[in-house]
Amino acid sequence: MSLSFSSSVSGIQATLHMLSVSAHNVANMNTDRFKKQHASLSEGNHGSVTVNITEGADPGPTYQHANGAIVEASNVDMNEEILRQISAKHLFSANAVALKTSVETQKGLLDLLA
């Protein structure tokens, strides 16, 4: 398997992790005391992409519950999540194009050798 092929596949897998983290944040945005997670990408071994997931430490807004208790709400910001999902979409598309190009290049090389 070529380096470009495996790099594109790991990039696609990384963007799927990014989308999964964002979906988890959106699903829990109305859960009190929920802390959003953030997926960051970095270069791994042999051109692969690795995903590092961290939990946000910033506090969410507070409100007074019906029983009088002060409660911290989730710190998820829907605008941030939309931007992360758009970024993941573009990264996915770029990796898909790179994967397609890698496959076409390999086919061309095989045709030349045959």
- The reported pTM is 0.81
pLDDT for position 29: 95
The three-state DSSP-derived secondary structure of 22-55 is HHHHHHCCCCCCCCCEEEEEEECHHHCEEEEEEE
Longest CA–CA span in the chain (Å) reads 78
Q: Tokens at residue 36, please?
A: 């959003």
Please check the confidence at residue 103 and state whether its pLDDT lies above 90. no
pLDDT (mean) for 68-77? 94
Q: Where are the domains of the chain?
A: 3-108
As a whole number of angstroms, the distance between CA 112 and CA 104 comes to 12
